[in-house]
């Protein structure tokens, strides 16, 4: 579980995050949605410690991040996995080396044992014959899957994904979403996902936080989001015709 209390972050004199508080539960896929530029990536990177918050607390299962010393921070980070917006695979390493990297750095397992684990997670993300390929030789969807494999290989307690399915076709996007959700349940991970994809919201939005201009504008589940009367949320959700129709159906069902 991750508790966020009154998180503030500015760059120069522009305040990007203006006091965000929320709770991300274990074993759930927690979604952060909002328009481009609303601060989703900055928020996620602040959770990870890549940005230092100006004010506020982030508490990982009782551990207050800002109160940890460098060693404790490093240890905590080894329990985190992150899937970056652009995958961020190491392009000088092939798929197997990419996925094995966290194991090499942080465990003293023998090669065979690491290899077994790598094979296992690559199979888990449905990538079997790509071990010796380099990132440049993979499609966007495959890169995302390798990135997920790398993020989960060392059994993280916390998984962060920045738009894991942006730029993918709808079918692959749903596969990736489902994969993340399954892994979250299977290993009881606290997962936080940035997205502006409404399909993801419907599929895996167990808890949703809607950010607007650095504020938490709304919070709820995927069932609630289609019924809310919050104008900012409905403007965002029903910007596409498809979802306008979905809302119509919900309302008819309700009446």
Partner 1 sequence: MKTLILKEIDDLIYGSLGIIVFISFFVGGVVAIQTALNIDNPLIPKYLVGFATRQSVILEFAPTFTSIIMAGKVGSYITSSIGTMRVTEQIDALEVMGINALNYLVFPKIIALMLYPFIIAIAMYLGIFGGWVAAVFGNYSTSAEFVQGIQVDFKDFHVIYAFTKTIIFAFILATIPAFYGFYMKGGALEVGKASTTSFVWTSVVIIIVNYIITQMMLG
State the residues that interact with ligand ATP by CB under 6 A: 11, 16, 34, 36-42, 196
What are the tokens at 104?
């090499």
Least Å distance between CB 166 and Mg ion?
A: 9
> What residues between 199 and 218 interact with partner 1 by CB under 8 A?
none
Distance CA 136, CA 42 (A): 27
Least Å distance between CB 21 and Mg ion?
A: 21
The H or E element that residue 160 is part of is strand 158-162
Q: Are 190 and 166 in contact (CB under 8 A)?
A: no
Distance CA 85, CA 240 (A): 23
**Candidates 31-39, 87-95, 186-194, 228-236; binding stretch for partner 1 (CB under 8 A):** 87-95
41 or 190, CB closer to ligand ATP?
Answer: 41
Going by their DSSP bridges, the two strands 29-33 and 207-212 should be labelled as parallel
The H or E element that residue 203 is part of is helix 198-204
Distance CA 88, CA 32 (A): 20
Residue from the set 48, 59, 68, 202 that interacts with partner 1 by CB under 8 A: 48
Partner from Mg ion, partner 1, ligand ATP, none contacting 202, C-beta within 5 to 8 A by type: none
* 32 closest CA partner among 160, 188, 203: 160
82 or 233, CB closer to partner 1?
Answer: 82
Question: Is residue 195 a contact point for Mg ion (CB under 5 A)?
Answer: no
Least Å distance between CB 105 and partner 1?
A: 6
Question: Is residue 61 a contact point for partner 1 (CB under 8 A)?
Answer: no
Residues that bind partner 1 (CB under 8 A): 45, 48, 50, 73-78, 80, 82, 84-86, 88-92, 101-102, 105-106
């Amino acid at each position: 579980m991750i508790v966020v209390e009154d998180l503030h972050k500015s760059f120069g004199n522009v305040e990007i995050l203006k006091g965000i508080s929320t709770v991300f539960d274990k074993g759930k896929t927690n979604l952060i949605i909002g328009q481009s530029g609303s601060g989703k990536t900055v928020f996620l990177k602040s959770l990870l410690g890549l940005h230092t918050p100006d004010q506020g607390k982030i508490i990982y299962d009782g551990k207050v991040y800002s109160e940890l010393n460098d060693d404790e921070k490093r240890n905590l980070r080894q329990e985190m996995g992150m899937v970056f917006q652009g995958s961020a695979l190491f392009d000088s390493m092939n798929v197997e080396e990419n996925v094995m990297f966290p194991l090499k750095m942080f465990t003293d397992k023998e090669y065979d044992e690491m290899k077994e684990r790598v094979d296992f997670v690559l199979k888990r993300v449905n990538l079997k014959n790509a071990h010796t390929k380099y990132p440049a030789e993979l499609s966007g969807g495959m890169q995302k899957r390798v990135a997920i494999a790398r993020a989960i290989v060392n059994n993280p307690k916390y998984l962060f994904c920045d738009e894991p399915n942006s730029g993918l076709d709808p079918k692959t996007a749903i596969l990736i979403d489902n994969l993340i959700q399954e892994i979250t349940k299977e290993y009881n991970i606290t997962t936080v996902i940035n997205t502006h994809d409404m399909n993801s919201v419907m599929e895996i939005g167990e808890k949703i936080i809607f950010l607007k201009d650095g504020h938490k504008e709304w919070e709820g589940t995927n069932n609630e989001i289609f019924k809310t009367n919050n104008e900012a949320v409905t403007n965002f959700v029903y910007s596409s015709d498809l979802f306008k129709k979905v809302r119509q159906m919900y309302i008819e069902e309700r009446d």
